[in-house]
């Protein structure tokens, strides 16, 4: 429904006219039955009302304008994008409307961080008028702005016509791949190892036979192939490469502990970044990468695949995943994994160490996984805790804070030691080192043939 709305110019006109008529001679009074009104003000109000009515009639009808909101289908968190509004002048627009003004107010979520949600523009005599605004989203998820308020103004500028228009669009804000550079560097190092060059971090040469070649001074004698040496009368060695088509499965904890913030960001954001780095590495080296997320139940599954688009699929599937305000059920996810994945795989459990649930529920279930699979338990260590343990307190609050930090990290280290004693690998690093350490754990497992 279209509503008339007076403008500030109308209020100013009425105030100015009221002062001006006081300077005019009296024109008598009129009895309206309920009040006696000075004719000067009666004529003034009638003139203003007539002008407002005419201006409102001449204003374009908001429902007649062709309005469209345009933006990308998906955008990455913290990356700017542009949202624009297009207003097309109707084909039968009369000439006196050609200079009409239109105001637009859009229903945009605050976390989209739009430069403005309201814009003013002048209608083009023919064609389309476009105005844009920059968005810089601050939160992952799906956003569906639906309502746009359109307000048109008459040629005198004293009356608006306003109408709410329904125009639903969908914008996906995907998680950022913060460790893209680390993934690229790790992938290059791994490929250098595959072609036989030395690397400072490499250990071993893989377990899958690749080819035969002549012995060089740097080769180990245990690599000599004696049958090939006897045939060619020259020393021949076997070369190996890391096995391919192995399975890497990330188990992403989406329980309440992953909602805790580290450096102002939920732990789950760093866990998702680590999962995307593993997807980039694994698929780049010919392995199959999969992911499932869980809290009380397994709520999302991405089947293992070696397609290079696997990282993009993880981002697309989990862009709106939020931590549940419930304790994670580790036994349930262990049962699910053991039932569906019987072949030996690298299982990367992205969770939070140092909680009672890990010691109470994860520890009894972990040996079942380790018996069949290689398990990596990965968690993000809060750098604030590390800072407080080394900070010299200056007051009573600082002393208590330091004692609590030391106790928390000690409990965390004890749990990590228990996990390592069971045969699992533990990655417990601060945010800026977490993803790269996770990638190194995967590459180390491949280099020594533990998969």
DSSP string spanning 180-238? HHHHHHHHHHHHHHHTT---TT--S--SEEEEEEE--TTS-GGGB-HHHHHHHTS-EEE
Same-domain check for residues 41 and 159: yes
Q: Which position has the token pair 């377990």? A: 207
- Write down the pLDDT at residue 32: 64
Q: Which tokens in the block code for residue 52? A: 């407002």
Final residue of a domain: which of 174, 198, 214? Answer: 174
Same-domain check for residues 262 and 169: no
Total domain count, the chain: 2
Mean of per-residue pLDDT scores for the chain: 85
Q: Is 107 inside a domain boundary?
A: yes
Q: Quick one: pLDDT band at residue 200, thresholds 50, 70, 90?
A: very low
Final residue of a domain: which of 174, 196, 225? Answer: 174
Report whether pLDDT(201) > 50: no
Report whether pLDDT(293) > 80: yes
The alpha carbon of 46 is separated from its chain's Cα centroid by a whole number of angstroms, namely: 58
Q: Taking the chain, what is the end-to-end CA distance rounded to the nearest angstrom?
A: 66
Same-domain check for residues 150 and 255: no
Q: What is the mean pLDDT of residues 395-406?
A: 90
Same-domain check for residues 273 and 420: yes
If one compares 113 and 30, the residue with the highest pLDDT of the two is 113
Q: Quick one: pLDDT band at residue 270, thresholds 50, 70, 90?
A: very high
Same-domain check for residues 166 and 259: no
Same-domain check for residues 402 and 274: yes
Q: Is 179 inside a domain boundary?
A: no
- Write down the pLDDT at residue 147: 92
Q: Is 63 inside a domain boundary?
A: yes
CA distance 12 to 354: 66
CA distance 295 to 326: 7
Q: Quick one: pLDDT band at residue 145, thresholds 50, 70, 90?
A: very high
Q: What is the DSSP letter of 125?
A: S
3-class state of residue 167 by DSSP: coil
Report whether pLDDT(84) > 60: yes
Same-domain check for residues 163 and 254: no
- Write down the pLDDT at residue 219: 76
Q: Is 220 inside a domain boundary?
A: no
Report whether pLDDT(203) > 70: no
- Write down the pLDDT at residue 227: 87
Same-domain check for residues 260 and 153: no
Share of residues in the chain with pLDDT > 70 (%): 90
Any idea what the CATH number is for the domain that residue 20 is in?
Answer: 2.60.40.10
CA distance 438 to 261: 20
Q: How many CB atoms within 10 Å of residue 445?
A: 18
Q: Is 242 inside a domain boundary?
A: no
Q: Is 182 inside a domain boundary?
A: no
Closest CA to 326 of 265, 254, 252: 254
Q: Quick one: pLDDT band at residue 244, thresholds 50, 70, 90?
A: low
Final residue of a domain: which of 151, 174, 197? Answer: 174
Is residue 435 within a helix (H) or strand (E), and if so which, with residue range?
Answer: helix 431-447
Contact status, residue 438 vs residue 425, Cβ threshold 8 Å: no
Contact status, residue 206 vs residue 243, Cβ threshold 8 Å: yes
Report whether pLDDT(202) > 50: no
Same-domain check for residues 282 and 421: yes
Strand order in the sheet with 288-294: 298-305, 288-294, 247-253, 346-350, 374-380, 425-429
| Residues 6 or more apart in contact with residue 280 via CB below 8 angstroms | 177, 180, 183, 184, 187, 311
Q: How many CB atoms within 10 Å of residue 387?
A: 11
- Write down the pLDDT at residue 82: 93
CA distance 87 to 93: 13
Q: How many CB atoms within 10 Å of residue 135?
A: 23
- Write down the pLDDT at residue 142: 92
Task: Tell which phi-psi region holds residue 401, choosing left (phi > 0), alpha (psi between -120 and 50) or beta.
Answer: alpha
- Give pLDDT tens digits for 404-448: 999 999 999 999 999 999 999 999 999 999 999 999 999 988 877
Same-domain check for residues 158 and 267: no
Contact status, residue 365 vs residue 359, Cβ threshold 8 Å: no
Same-domain check for residues 20 and 138: yes
If one compares 219 and 307, the residue with the highest pLDDT of the two is 307
Q: Is 167 inside a domain boundary?
A: yes
CA distance 145 to 109: 8
Contact status, residue 274 vs residue 234, Cβ threshold 8 Å: no
Q: Quick one: pLDDT band at residue 2, thresholds 50, 70, 90?
A: confident
Same-domain check for residues 261 and 159: no
Any idea what the CATH number is for the domain that residue 310 is in?
Answer: 3.40.50.410
- Write down the pLDDT at residue 194: 61
| Residue 406, phi then psi, degrees to nearest 5 | -60, -45
Q: What is the DSSP letter of 362?
A: I
- Write down the pLDDT at residue 17: 82
Q: Is 373 inside a domain boundary?
A: yes
- Write down the pLDDT at residue 198: 39
Q: Quick one: pLDDT band at residue 187, thresholds 50, 70, 90?
A: confident
Which range marks the domain in which residue 57 is found?
Answer: 1-174
CA distance 62 to 339: 60
If one compares 208 and 200, the residue with the highest pLDDT of the two is 208
């Amino acid at each position: 429904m279209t509503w008339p709305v007076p403008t500030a110019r109308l209020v100013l006109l009425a105030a100015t006219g009221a002062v001006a008529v006081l300077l005019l001679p009296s024109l008598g009074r009129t009895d309206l039955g309920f009040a006696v009104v000075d004719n000067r003000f009666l004529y003034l109000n009638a003139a203003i009302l007539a002008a407002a009515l005419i201006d409102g009639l001449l204003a374009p009808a908001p429902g007649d304008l062709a309005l469209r909101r345009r933006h990308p289908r998906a955008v990455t968190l913290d990356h700017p994008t542009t949202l624009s509004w297009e207003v097309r002048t109707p084909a039968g627009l009369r000439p006196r409307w050609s200079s009409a003004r239109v105001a637009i107010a859009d229903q945009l979520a605050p976390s989209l961080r739009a430069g403005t949600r309201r814009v003013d523009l002048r209608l083009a005599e023919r064609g389309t008028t476009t105005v844009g605004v920059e968005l810089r989203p601050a939160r992952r998820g799906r956003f569906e702005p639906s309502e746009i308020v359109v307000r048109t103004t008459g040629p005198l500028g004293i009356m608006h016509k306003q109408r709410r228009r329904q125009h639903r669009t969908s914008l996906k804000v995907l998680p950022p791949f913060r460790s893209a550079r680390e993934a690229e560097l790790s992938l290059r190092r791994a490929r250098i190892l595959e072609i036989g060059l030395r690397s400072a971090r490499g250990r071993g040469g893989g377990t899958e036979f690749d080819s035969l070649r002549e012995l060089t001074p740097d080769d180990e004698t245990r690599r000599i192939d004696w049958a090939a040496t006897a045939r060619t009368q020259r020393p021949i060695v076997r070369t190996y490469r890391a096995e391919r088509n192995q399975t890497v499965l990330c188990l992403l904890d989406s329980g309440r502990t992953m909602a805790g913030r580290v450096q102002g960001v939920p732990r789950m954001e760093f866990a998702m970044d680590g999962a995307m780095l593993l997807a980039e590495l694994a698929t780049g080296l010919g392995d199959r990468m999969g992911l499932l997320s869980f809290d009380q139940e397994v709520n999302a599954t991405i089947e293992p695949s070696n397609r290079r688009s696997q990282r993009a699929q993880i981002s697309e599937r989990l862009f709106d995943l939020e931590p549940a305000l419930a304790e994670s059920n580790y036994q349930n996810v262990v049962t699910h994994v053991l039932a569906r994945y019987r072949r030996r795989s690298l299982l990367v459990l992205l969770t939070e160490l140092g909680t009672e649930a890990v010691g109470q529920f994860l520890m009894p279930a972990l040996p079942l996984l380790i018996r069949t699979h290689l398990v990596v338990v990965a968690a993000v260590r809060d750098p604030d805790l590390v800072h407080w343990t080394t900070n010299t307190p200056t007051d009573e609050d600082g002393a208590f804070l330091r004692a609590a930090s030391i106790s928390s990290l000690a409990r965390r280290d004890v749990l990590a030691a228990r996990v390592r004693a069971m045969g699992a690998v533990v990655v417990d690093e601060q945010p800026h080192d977490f993803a790269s350490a996770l990638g190194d754990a995967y590459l180390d497992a491949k280099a020594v043939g533990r998969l």
